[in-house]
Amino acid sequence: MILRSRHAEHLWKLDEHGTLLGSASQRRTPSRPKRLARGVLIAIGIALCSASPAGVANTSQPVITEFRYASFLLKSEYQASCLFKIALKESNVRYNAINRSSGALGAWQILNPRVATLSSHEQVEWAIRYAEHRYKTPCEAWEFWKVNKWW
């Protein structure tokens, strides 16, 4: 493949691997070590361009969703789905939800003022403990919710 620059005097040729060979008029293929070295230099340049600026550490950690967290704690996506069906009905899964008439808070509408200080993952933990304490499993809690419209 030959690439032409805006100025006709520069012609560049690519080999079958997409490596830039140099001027097409030379008609000579660089040796394998030169191609390898060129590829290494390109890789180093890309790495340097995509690296964080000096003095800036990349400390981001992967974020686990609340559903995945519940699935992990319960060892069951099925049980986690029952738990989140309750949250969907109670608050549309809003962790900062407030029921003005009852004072219930969080995604699962918990009647405890401490919930206002809990993170979303802590609310998941609380909901699991509550479901297991009162109903044995989140799916049994969901069955109760479907009949009574509360849990």
pLDDT 10s digits, 49-66: 666 666 676 677 778 999
- Name which residue leads in pLDDT, 34 or 147: 147
Its pTM stands at: 0.60
Task: Give the C-alpha separation, 132 to 113, whole Å.
Answer: 21
pLDDT over threshold 60, residue 131: yes
Tokens 């909901």 sit on residue? 127
Indicate the residue type of 108.
W
Residue at 109: amino acid letter: Q
Helix (H, G, I), strand (E, B) or coil at 45: helix
Q: For residue 76, what pLDDT is reported? A: 96
Band (pLDDT 50/70/90 cuts) for residue 46 is: confident
**How would you label 118-139 residue by residue, b for 16+ Cβ within 10 Å and e otherwise?**
beeeebbebbbebbeeebebbb
Amino acid at 119: S
pLDDT classification of 48: cutoffs 50, 70, 90: confident
Q: Answer whether 141's CB lies under 8 Å from 82's CB.
A: yes
The length of the chain in residues reads 151
Tally of CB atoms within 10 A around 43 = 10
